[in-house]
Structure 1
């Protein structure tokens, strides 16, 4: 991997013997447990997992609830306060530190004691993400994601750009490389002039070369992190549990200046015009030629009616290597569960190849278990979708792990408006130095 975690190596080794017994009590593994998730596309797979689990464990019933992402976290937070949160729930790395701090998570070291879980079965680094600063584990990995370039093959063909060219784009800080040249050539104004042709009207664009997800706030997962990752820049001094951010680094600010420059040149839409809009839907409507997005959106893009979609890997940097943030979800147990033994047994099953093979076969996401992820790749292929642009990062070790820190919400509260101002053209990228000072002040 591009960034290797060292701070949790000892904890990960200790945690290799996780088991499926009750959360530090003699409670029996029976009764009904509640499991929550937010992705409707994955609901059928997990319903099948729950059915298979109950068949093997008839004394435990599983009730699954699915809610949209925003409503999911609001309802879950209310459940923590009211004391009626689900026994098991899908956890996200942006929420993990705060849930740990407020003691809403049950340690799996305490909850799982008898049958070992082989953490080496998961893709490298994923298990490390869910170890707290206390050295204990609070989640078993369920899936992972990277980013890639979705493009409209009709538009690239009309522009004389072949699939091989799209698969071998390069980027640099000096002039944006072939990546910027391609984005410019794919941009077309309302008079039919391309972005790299004389007379191009950047104020009247019909098709943008690049779609805009947003400013990326402090993480930039799908917006710019795949570019900053090629420069050697990292979000924090260490990961996980870094306590110093690097938004004042010249390489970071130069990258963001380049990114914001695409808007100024007319190659990417203005930030204010994208508020509340779905980038994928704008792409499907033929208003943008390229979108960089995560592997969780594969189905959304490839099922766009009337659009022949290609998927290319992210561009190489000056060192000739690609880069992508590697994010991963996990299943966690609520500390207030009244059925810790049953919940632990279900979490162990969710983290096993038995369940993740089912998830992989649905061709929606890449499961955390390596062999199950291979099944997902095969399932996508059977549907005519080549997902190698996403898997190449894992195969070639060009990933860096999602930053895990305390004060995540506060960091976002500072960086979101600061980044919006830069991408909107209201402030220079150098203004991020002040934002960085404000962020680092949170850790003093």
Structure 2
């Protein structure tokens, strides 16, 4: 009898210890969990909040809290959090950084989950699914995609007597219009020749027949005369006074200048539609054509932290973020172009006052952003060196050649 009681007590103790040991692990089905969702664009918060509201109604045991971090600090914060084990459960990822975080074991591979649930990745553009596939493993479910357009202020054009831009515009037309539209007395500039790659000089480099990174990934094209010519063209707007200076654009964002009527034109991505759509003076046209038509294409994906303690709930949320219901909210609010095939039409109809078709048409001549592991370091070097040219310290040609030498070392480390 004593042996039976002793065995029973031992069994109870083992059960209690097992339960305690599981308390910090994966939550079981049916338990209440709270997910942290990391993102950087505050303009998308209203749409995301609506999507979360709908998700929580359908999944009452899962709550989602947004962690908003400015774009400038986002990836540094993620890197620090990855090292400390405090990453959000689900978060935004972009192409230039996915290889770095995937190879650093910070992201949860989704391949087995996709297969298990028969989740159809073919419902998204192949260019986006391949962007987030590293070493044959899927790491992200595409959220949206974006291309670049030429936004313009019709009121400023009308007052200056300049015809609106259209698909016939060339680099020469853009320069001529920017000069005519500049009104220093009124503090109005024709365009903002910003030092940013996507939605700026990358588009021009591709339009001029240049390339950013060679196909073998071992060198850049910055020393190429075609690339130098594109950069010199972009900087010429500043030299001729048709664009704010590098210092001015560092102090005040081009988006704010455009919204306040101080810019006649600006290169920007389709994600800005959510910001510009309520101003009746604003519209968008295709980017002017160089030697060829070209724009940048990119798209974000939702990924899961490799260290999440709520893997099942996180995957449920990611699947919902990639669903038609979520895409419908993004489309109808004009927030972004949904990545889900078949949902682009709803986005086009969301802002009938703007020629949003230009962003969809641009898919035919788009170039993806680099997504190699060293992209982040490469971009930092681009800014550090090219800003010397765009602030007038050295020539564009000297800066481009210096960048080529430095960037090639980064690529071959």
1:351 counterpart = 2:346? no
C-alpha separation between the residues in 1 aligned to 2:72 and 2:403?
26
Cα contact 2:190–2:265 (8 A) shared by 1: yes
C-alpha contact 2:209 2:291 (8 A) present in aligned 1: no
CA distance in 1 between partners of 2:191 and 2:240 (Å)? 11
Structure 1 position 72, deviation (Å): 4.2
Aligned twin of 2:391: 424
Q: Does 1:297 align with 2:266?
A: no
What are the residue-to-residue correspondences of 1:79-98 with 2, within 5 Å? 79-98=81-100
Deviation of 1:169 after TM superposition, in Å, equals: 4.3
CA distance in 1, matches of 2:393, 2:168: 30
State the partner residue of 1:3: none
Whether 1:391 aligns to 2:360 is: yes
| 1:414 aligned residue (368, 376, 381) | 381
State the 1:402 CA deviation: 1.2
Deviation at 1:274, TM superposition (A): 2.0
Tell me the secondary structure at the aligned position of residue 38 of structure 2: strand
Aligned-residue offset at 1:291: 1.0
1:443 paired with 2:411, answer: yes
Give the match's secondary structure for 1:418.
helix
- Deviations along 1:194-227, one digit per CA (max 9) or x if unpaired, are xxxxxxxxxxx83221123x322xxx11222222
Aligned counterpart for 1:66 among listed residues 68, 88, 108: 68
Equivalences for residues 22-421 of structure 1 within 5 A: 28-30=28-30, 31-32=32-33, 33-132=35-134, 134-163=135-164, 166-171=165-170, 176-190=171-185, 206-212=187-193, 214-216=194-196, 220-238=197-215, 242-304=217-279, 308-319=281-292, 322-381=293-352, 384-394=353-363, 397-421=364-388
SS of equivalent to 1:149? strand
Tell me the distance in 2 between the aligned counterparts of 1:402 and 1:274: 23
In structure 1, the residue corresponding to 2:139 is in which secondary structure?
A: coil
C-alpha deviation, 1:91, in angstroms:
1.2
Q: What is the Cα deviation at residue 95 of structure 1?
A: 2.6
Shift of 1:352: 1.9
CA-atom RMSD in angstroms = 2.4
Higher helix proportion (structure 1 or 2): 2
Larger radius of gyration: 2
Shift of 1:412: 2.2
How far has the Cα of 1:26 moved from its partner? 9.6
Q: TM-score, normalised by structure 1?
A: 0.80
> Following TM superposition, by how much is the alpha carbon of 1:178 offset from its aligned partner in structure 2, in angstroms?
1.6
Q: Which runs of 5+ in 2 are unaligned?
A: 1-24
Task: Confirm or deny: 8 A CA contact 1:242 1:404 kept in the other structure.
Answer: no
